[in-house]
């Protein structure tokens, strides 16, 4: 981000400040206390309220200080009213500040360990890596040691994260729209070629009919004039032969054009079928990605709304032992902490890269379910998983990718299944370890 959304502090070469920038006695007394929401730059209120407070909580707080109806006002109106309350100060800003402090008390205590801007930025970067952004964002913005550079850095990184999330969804939508447009163009092209083939067939039939009529007319003329000389008859026959040969040439030309048009139409039809197949695969992949994004968003919202509480979307893992084979180290660490927070145990094995494969065979028999991402595991480990799991009757299932979203979506499906059926074991995977 080239320019921050707020003015940088101006300094002078002679070491003095303008009168408006001189610190007051109240500023000196409050130099070591946390900043309140109303004291922050007005350009930061939108990002703080939009990131750190949920829409349901805003609907509960904002109508107490405005004329908005909590049941009929749009989310955008509620958000704008909350930002205006924060800018205006007063009771509304105090209520919003209190809600933020109560919700993120744990993060505030954790960030109190930072005694300078450098340590504060280190804690903020750690929170970015773990994905725990809303609590860390409020703790950074209100921290006593948060200067203009720290707040500018946190605001810029949060701003770019919102762009990345939006761009990922927009790219999938643009790809789907482009495939649908190309499919429609191919259909119109095939229809035009079929219409041209019908026109060529009609022209050929008309030419054949005209040749037949000419032959009949000439035959009638020959029949009516039996007294023609031999030379005249031979000339008439030659003229008729020329017409017949010309008709045959035109017929051959139209036939070759028709066959070429049919071949092009067949190729276009095959291309259209291939595009329809790709479109179906893209739509299926888009549905899977949307389901994963929705599950991850629900888990994130639950983590924001109820920090420290057991997540409803991953209740199935409570008391379960899960073996996770393959994956990436960063994602595996997040999955392990997520399962531990839900009351379960996640045993991670890299499939034999650094861990011995003998440890994998020993860890599988006592597992409730074995999971492995198909994009981050080798074939030997998959074959071993199949044999050991079938021998000990352990359920196993593949995941689409090694991302956190695929894991959360799978556990959410298991949790939803246990709420409707009495069986507690996950469904047996239909994934073929050899052919995919």
pLDDT confidence bin for 305, thresholds 50/70/90: low
Point out the least confidently predicted range of 9-23, 46-60, 95-109, 245-259.
Answer: 9-23
pLDDT at 358: 64
- Quick one: pLDDT band at residue 26, thresholds 50, 70, 90? very low
In this structure, the number of other CB atoms found within 10 A of the CB of residue 278 comes to 13
User: Using 50, 70 and 90 to split pLDDT, how confident is the model at 16?
Assistant: very low
3-state secondary structure of 356: coil
Two tokens, residue 261: 């048009």
Whole-number pLDDT of residue 192: 92
Structure tokens at 299: 């888990």
Q: With 50 as the cut, is the pLDDT of residue 161 above it? A: yes
Read off the pLDDT of residues 66-121 as tens digits, 9 standing for 90 and up. Answer: 888 888 888 888 889 889 988 888 898 888 899 888 888 988 888 888 889 988 88
Average pLDDT, the chain: 78
pLDDT above 70 for 2: no
Please report the pLDDT score of residue 61 as a whole number: 87
What distances in angstroms separate CA 2 from CA 112, 116, 156, 159, 405, one per listed residue? 30, 25, 9, 12, 32
What's the CATH number for 171-302?
1.10.287
Percentage of residues of the chain with pLDDT beyond 70: 78
Residue ranges of the chain assigned to CATH 1.10.287 = 171-302
Give the pair of three-digit tokens for residue 415.
Answer: 């949790």
Q: What is the pLDDT of residues 388-419, one digit of tens each?
A: 888 888 888 888 888 888 888 888 888 777 65
Whether pLDDT at 162 is above 80: no
Amino acid 1: pLDDT = 39
Tell which wins on pLDDT, 5 or 328.
328
Residue 190 banded pLDDT, cuts 50, 70, 90: very high
Considering only 179-193, 255-269, 290-304, 395-409, which range has the smallest mean pLDDT?
Answer: 290-304
Distances (CA, A) of 299 to 328, 331, 416: 20, 15, 14
Residues whose CB is less than 8 angstroms from the CB of residue 368 and which lie 6 or more positions away in sequence, other chains included: 320, 321, 322, 394, 395, 425
Q: What percent of the chain has pLDDT over 90?
A: 5
Give the per-residue pLDDT at 235: 87
User: Of the ranges 3-7, 51-55, 131-135, 210-214, which one carries the lowest mean pLDDT score?
Assistant: 3-7
Ranking 204-208, 257-261, 333-337 by mean pLDDT, the lowest is 333-337
Condensed to tens digits (0 to 9), the pLDDT of residues 273-288 reads: 899 888 888 888 888 8
More confident residue, 431 or 158: 158
Contacts of 357 (CB under 8 A, 6+ apart): 351, 380, 381, 384
Task: Between 134 and 382, name the one with better pLDDT.
Answer: 134
Q: What is the CATH number of domain 312-420?
A: 3.40.50.720
Is the pLDDT at 14 greater than 80? The verdict is no
For the residues 411-431, what does the mean pLDDT come to? 56
Domain with CATH 3.40.50.720 in the chain: 312-420
Specify the higher pLDDT residue, 12 or 208: 208
Q: Give 310-369 pLDDT, tens digit per residue.
A: 555 567 778 888 888 888 888 888 888 888 888 888 888 877 666 666 677 777 777 888
In angstroms, the CA 109 to CA 132 distance is: 15
């Amino acid at each position: 981000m080239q320019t921050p959304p707020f003015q940088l502090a101006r300094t002078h070469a002679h070491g003095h400040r303008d009168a408006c920038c001189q610190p007051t006695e109240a500023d000196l007394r409050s130099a070591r206390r946390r900043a309140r929401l109303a004291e922050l730059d007005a350009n930061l209120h939108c990002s703080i309220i939009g990131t750190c407070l949920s829409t349901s909580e805003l609907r509960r707080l904002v109508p107490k200080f405005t004329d908005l109806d909590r049941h009929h006002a749009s989310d955008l109106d509620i958000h704008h009213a909350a930002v205006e309350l924060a800018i205006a100060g007063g009771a509304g800003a105090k209520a919003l500040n209190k809600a933020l402090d109560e919700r993120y008390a744990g993060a505030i205590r954790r960030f109190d360990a930072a005694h300078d801007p450098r340590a504060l930025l280190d804690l903020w970067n750690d929170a970015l890596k773990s994905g725990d952004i809303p609590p860390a964002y409020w703790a950074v913005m209100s921290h006593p040691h948060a200067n203009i550079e720290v707040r500018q850095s946190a605001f810029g990184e949060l701003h770019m994260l919102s762009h990345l999330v939006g761009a990922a969804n927009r790219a999938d939508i643009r790809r789907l729209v482009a495939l649908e447009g190309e499919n429609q163009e191919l259909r119109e092209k095939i229809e035009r070629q079929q219409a041209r083939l019908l026109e060529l067939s009609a022209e050929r039939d008309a030419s054949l009919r005209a040749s037949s009529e000419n032959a009949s007319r000439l035959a009638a003329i020959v029949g009516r004039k039996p007294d023609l000389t031999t030379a005249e008859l031979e000339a008439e026959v030659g003229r008729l032969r020329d017409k017949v040969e010309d008709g045959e040439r035109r017929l051959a030309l139209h036939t070759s054009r028709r066959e070429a048009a049919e071949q092009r139409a067949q190729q276009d039809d095959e291309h259209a079928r291939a595009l329809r197949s790709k479109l179906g695969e893209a739509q299926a992949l888009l549905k899977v990605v949307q389901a994963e994004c929705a599950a991850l968003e629900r888990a994130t919202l639950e983590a924001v709304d109820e920090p420290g509480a057991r997540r409803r979307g991953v209740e199935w893992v409570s008391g379960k032992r899960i073996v996770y084979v393959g994956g990436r180290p960063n994602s595996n660490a997040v999955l392990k902490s997520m399962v531990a927070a839900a009351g379960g145990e996640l045993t991670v094995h890299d499939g034999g890269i650094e861990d011995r494969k003998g440890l994998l065979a020993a860890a599988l028999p006592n597992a409730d379910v074995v999971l492995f991402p198909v994009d981050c595991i080798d074939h030997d480990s998959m074959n071993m998983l199949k044999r050991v799991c079938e021998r000990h009757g352990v359920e196993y299932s593949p995941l689409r990718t090694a991302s956190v979203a695929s894991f959360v979506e799978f556990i959410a499906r298991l949790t939803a299944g246990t709420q409707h059926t009495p069986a507690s074991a996950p469904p047996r995977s239909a994934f073929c370890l050899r052919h995919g």
